[in-house]
């Protein structure tokens, strides 16, 4: 999925707000899953950052913007991370339990996962906004499932994780989840 943070009038604003929510948790080695064009890299020293993005063009833009940071299309084989960040990604994943189960293998003992996702109660706003160009139409079209706190807790539990912190932001339209191993 190409980076959609620049599509739609408010998409850059939404990206900044998601990053603002993640920034307090950026300690140690960071794995940025679904890094897009690398916006989060601006807040992490190159030696502590690894960005993963399946889209070639987004990786190219990220590498141009942050030439000292490392970006890849695939997860690293031999590294463990203190924090795994996935901002506005899980809603695009067909099997979130499997995805989280794979990611948790990259997490050090005591590490955390930082996720943001739109709240399902606000789907109508996202849908309408995508139709009129306020939000990314591509991102909206590629949503698999929007998760609320209960659904995320169930998915996390199946992946041997637990939600340790939860909050809503952007007037309840988005959610922040902090996950850790059980």
| 63: in domain | no
Whole-Å CA distances, 97 to 33, 150, 181? 15, 14, 14
Beta strands 81-87; 174-181: pairing state:
unpaired
Query: Which among 13-17, 23-27, 127-131, 133-137 has the top mean pLDDT?
Result: 23-27
Going by C-alpha positions, the residue among 108, 117, 96 that lies closest to residue 159 is: 96
| 90: in domain | yes
54-91: b (≥16 Cβ within 10 Å) or e: ebeebbebbbeebeebbbeeeeeeeeebbbbbbbbbbb
Neighbours of 168 (CB within 10 A): 15
Torsions phi, psi for 164 (to 5 deg): -105, -15
Top pLDDT among 77 and 123 is at: 77
pLDDT for residue 60: 96
Q: Is the pLDDT of residue 78 over 60?
A: yes
**Which of 93-102's residues contact partners 24+ apart within 8 Å by CB, and which partners?**
93/144, 94/144, 96/144, 96/145, 96/147, 96/155, 96/159, 97/155, 97/158, 97/159, 100/155, 100/156, 100/159, 100/161, 100/179, 101/158, 101/159, 101/160, 102/75
Question: What are 1's two structure tokens?
Answer: 């999925």
Going by C-alpha positions, the residue among 55, 61, 14, 13 that lies closest to residue 41 is: 61
| 161: in domain | yes
Q: Please state the pTM of the whole predicted model.
A: 0.88
Q: Is the pLDDT of residue 64 over 70?
A: yes
| Mean pLDDT computed over 17-35 | 97
| 56: in domain | no
| 52: in domain | no
Q: Which domain holds residue 122?
A: 11-26+76-181
- Distance (Å, whole) CA 140 – CA 144: 9
Top pLDDT among 12 and 126 is at: 12
| 51: in domain | no
CATH value at residue 127: 3.40.50.150
- Distance (Å, whole) CA 79 – CA 165: 25
Number of structural domains (the chain) is 1
| Mean pLDDT computed over 86-99 | 95
As a whole-number percent, the residues of the chain with pLDDT over 70 amount to 82
pLDDT for residue 10: 63
Mean pLDDT (the chain) is 88
| 145: in domain | yes
Per-residue pLDDT reduced to its tens digit, 130-141? 555 555 545 544
| 142: in domain | yes
- From first CA to last CA, the distance across the chain in angstroms is 31
């Amino acid at each position: 999925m190409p980076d959609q943070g620049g599509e739609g009038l408010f998409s850059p604003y939404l990206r900044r707000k998601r990053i603002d929510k993640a920034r307090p948790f950026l300690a140690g080695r960071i794995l940025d899953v679904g890094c897009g064009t690398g916006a989060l890299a601006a807040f992490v020293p190159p030696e502590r950052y690894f960005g993963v993005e399946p889209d070639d063009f987004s990786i190219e833009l990220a590498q141009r913007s942050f030439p000292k940071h490392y970006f890849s299309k695939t997860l690293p084989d031999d590294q463990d991370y203190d924090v795994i960040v996935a901002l506005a990604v899980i809603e695009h994943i067909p099997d979130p339990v499997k995805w989280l189960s794979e990611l948790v293998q990259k997490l050090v003992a005591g590490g955390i996962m930082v996720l943001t996702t739109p709240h399902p109660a606000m789907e109508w706003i996202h849908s309408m906004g995508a139709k009129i160009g306020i939000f990314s139409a591509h991102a909206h079209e590629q949503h698999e499932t929007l998760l609320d706190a209960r659904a995320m807790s169930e998915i996390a539990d199946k992946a041997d994780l637990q939600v340790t912190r939860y909050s809503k932001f952007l007037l309840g339209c988005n959610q922040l989840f902090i996950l850790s191993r059980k």
